[in-house]
Structure 1
Amino acid sequence: MSIPADPPAPTTWPRLVIISCALSVVVGVVLLAFSWPAITAAPRDLPVGIVGSEKQVDQLADAIEDGSDGAIELTRFDDRDAAVAAITQRSVSGAVVLGQTPMDAPEVLSATAASTQVSQMMDGLSSTLQAQIDAQVRATVEQQVQAAMSGQKAPPASGETPQKFEFPVVTVETTDVVPLSEDDPRGAGLSASMFPLVIGGILGGVVITLVLKGSGVRRLIALLIYAGAAGLVLTGVLQGLYGALQGDYWANAGAMALSIAAISGTITGLAGLVGAAGAGIGAAFTMLIANPLSGAMVPAEFIVQPWGAVGQWFPPGAAGTLIRDLSYFSDANTTFPWMLLAIWVCVGAVFTVINLPGRQSPRSADHAQLGAGKEAAAPAHAAL
């Protein structure tokens, strides 16, 4: 006849208060991690190209520096083609092409596919230029009117047509060099693609760590199979169904798979070093640090430095840059994100295979089993 076990003792009141307060701190940390990049977001040293004569560039640079408060960093190019090439290679976020004369309409170049926030900022710069041009035109015409009136000794005779002064029309042109696709005109799908990628990477790493039993090699093989399959599925939905991704399907699927492997490998690798707790550490690091700094919510240039640049060294940041470049910026150099993600995968794979918590010598295992046997036998002897 089995004796029912005693119910567990209730949690003490001091422990209850500590747990509740600790949970509130965790919620605050989560809120801070996700809200801080967005609330503190502001353009800082945003690279913008400029084409024009030295005098024109100097005048515009002074005006921009006075009005932007360090938000824009100008880079001079020889002609419009060079500026466009720099935008498509993601060396600059936009450009201003000035006319040869003050009456020639300038052109503002932007790339909505790079960032809708930066594109809106370039539109604001276009409005600022338009206001400056209108003020210059108005001042020039007023000077001409005053000069004509001062040189006219008498009013025009009856029937004589008075002199007319026309305001020249100079309108700033705006050109979107790299627009978003018609299927995703606001870039919502491209931005939203980062969330399932990060969640998928975390979920895969945690499940593989906690559910699969056996050696680290088994976990690594499961990770590679999962990353490859998930890359195909996510790319099929985002590109085939929503049209959020552009370019070659297999290249995008490879980038997705490598990104998921890098995130999941970080979690399984930490678990291979310190055990199941490493999975929690890796998941928290990815969700609370790497993801907010990735530039998925706001451009990396808008995040307080150096954190915006640091975020590009983590898997979510490198993944976001790589996927966006493959879709819209075929001229951009993607060597850095490809190599960085591959390094994260390799390091995670090594630590996953090492599996320090799972390495127990046969002798220590025998001692552990022998000790458990003695403890189980002790009550039997006592009963006899």
Structure 2
Amino acid sequence: MKFAEEFKNAVTPRAALLVIGVLALQLLFITSYVGALHNPKPKDVAFGVVAPQPAAAKQLAQQLDKLQGSPLDTRVVKDAKTAREQVLNREIDGALVFHAKGAQDTLYVASGGGTVLASALEGLATTIDAQQQRTVKTVDVAPASVQDFDGLSAFYLVVGWCVGGYLCASIMSISAGSKPASPQRAAIRLGSLAVFAVVGGIGGSLIIGDSILGALPGSFWGLAGLGALITLAVGAITLALEELTGVVGIGLAVLLIVIAGNPSAGGAFPLPMLPPFWQAIGPWLPPGAGTWAARSIAYFKGNDLTQSLLVLSAWAVVGIVATLLVSGLREKRRGAKAGPATEPAAEPAA
């Protein structure tokens, strides 16, 4: 009996529920990461085909679409120049240019978008041409930096900004004993988060750039602004979840950003190499949107940024509005329960 009583005192029902929640997060972490990354292979990769005759190009596209496992989603492109531009604009991930003269074709890839995918496309093109007694020359239109092994630097940079965002938000809430924020306190926390985001964005861009590590090329201020937006978005949505659910919100933020967001971000393996579920959710979560945007800034001259920036901005706006709205409604309910202040009784006349 003594042990049972001590156990009840040591592990409260609330603590037991939190431990069960942590166990669920642990198992979801394993499921998400292993499920997304254990067997990467290209699936329906946007791929262009160029040939001197439209009929020949259409025939080649149909042949590539019938490859086992459907690794390519092929479309006919009118000429080599257009194919190169589409790869650089991130409209397609690669393109094969068939040359009628000679026995060598040209493959356009962009390793800045993910070296693993570029290598996979090169392997496919080499195998296809070898079956026709032809060879292929690979042209990398947006090559990854030699200091950016496997094109992972952009992903790790974004992960760092995401971690900073939810840790900053969590610490501001926990330091107050997880007390619900008043509207004034919520506004102060959001303002502090914004300052933290700007400093973190500049710091991350400085570390990753030529002045220190030299891991990523691209606009210093472009990456710094992106880092500030990512940090603000993640931090704001974490504050909102904490306002809605208390300390459980920290776990929900981990579920959203770390468990669902990181393996679907296209970092280790670009999106076309991930299973359908992770491929579908990746672009709509902060890590995936951030990774795409960081690579666009670093390697693709800022092309195809609109969707990613809109996604990150939407997370930031939703987080800010929800944090202020929930804290305001709670303050209003608290005032309603307290009721109007009572007037002190008048003193009897002398």
TM-score, normalised via structure 2 length: 0.83
Residues 48 and 94 in structure 1, CA contact (< 8 A), matched pair in contact too: yes
Deviation at 1:179, TM superposition (A): 0.4
Deviations 1:335-360 (A, max 9, x none): 11112211211111112223155656
Q: Distance in 2 between matches of 1:304 and 1:60?
A: 26
- Find the counterpart in structure 1 of residue 174 from structure 2: 210
Tell me, yes or no, if structure 1 residue 280 matches structure 2 residue 251.
yes
Q: Distance in 2 between matches of 1:25 and 1:211?
A: 25
Tell me, yes or no, if structure 1 residue 192 matches structure 2 residue 156.
yes
Deviation at 1:331, TM superposition (A): 5.5
Match of 1:107, SS state, is strand
Between 1:218-227 and 1:278-287, the stretch displaced more is 278-287
Between 1:301-310 and 1:89-98, the stretch displaced more is 301-310
Which protein shows a greater Rg? 1
Deviations 1:103-152 (A, max 9, x none): 34211111110111211112112321341232xxxxxxxxxxxxxxxxxx
Residues 272 and 353 in structure 1, CA contact (< 8 A), matched pair in contact too: no
Could you tell me which runs of 5 or more consecutive residues in structure 2 were left unpaired when the two chains were aligned. Answer: 341-350
Question: Structure 1 residues 254 and 90, CA, compared in 2 at 3 Å: closer, same or farther?
Answer: same
Aligned residue type for 1:231: G
Tell me, yes or no, if structure 1 residue 328 matches structure 2 residue 293.
no
- Find the counterpart in structure 2 of residue 181 from structure 1: 145
Residues 129 and 172 in structure 1, CA contact (< 8 A), matched pair in contact too: no
Shift >4 Å, 4+ stretches: 18-26, 356-360, 362-367
- Find the counterpart in structure 2 of residue 96 from structure 1: 96
Q: Distance in 2 between matches of 1:97 and 1:350?
A: 50
Question: Structure 1 residues 132 and 325, CA, compared in 2 at 3 Å: closer, same or farther?
Answer: same
Match of 2:301, SS state, is coil
Trace 1:285-324 onto structure 2 (pairs within 5 A): 285-324=256-295
Q: Distance in 2 between matches of 1:245 and 1:129?
A: 33
- Find the counterpart in structure 2 of residue 11 from structure 1: 7
- Find the counterpart in structure 1 of residue 334 from structure 2: 361
Residues 147 and 215 in structure 2, CA contact (< 8 A), matched pair in contact too: yes
Instruction: Determine what percentage of the aligned residue pairs are the same residue.
Output: 23
Aligned residue type for 1:361: R
Count of residues in correspondence between the two structures? 324
Match of 1:180, SS state, is coil
Residues 111 and 119 in structure 1, CA contact (< 8 A), matched pair in contact too: yes
Match of 2:132, SS state, is helix
TM-score, normalised via structure 1 length: 0.76
Question: Structure 1 residues 38 and 217, CA, compared in 2 at 3 Å: closer, same or farther?
Answer: same
Deviation at 1:230, TM superposition (A): 0.9
Could you tell me which runs of 5 or more consecutive residues in structure 1 were left unpaired when the two chains were aligned. Answer: 1-5, 135-169, 368-384
Question: Structure 1 residues 357 and 243, CA, compared in 2 at 3 Å: closer, same or farther?
Answer: farther
Tell me, yes or no, if structure 1 residue 118 matches structure 2 residue 88.
no
Q: Distance in 2 between matches of 1:7 and 1:249?
A: 60
Tell me, yes or no, if structure 1 residue 233 matches structure 2 residue 203.
yes
Question: Structure 1 residues 200 and 85, CA, compared in 2 at 3 Å: closer, same or farther?
Answer: same
- Find the counterpart in structure 2 of residue 141 from structure 1: none
Trace 1:213-224 onto structure 2 (pairs within 5 A): 215-224=185-194
Deviation at 1:23, TM superposition (A): 5.9
Task: Give the superposed CA RMSD.
Answer: 2.9
- Find the counterpart in structure 1 of residue 344 from structure 2: none
Match of 1:50, SS state, is strand
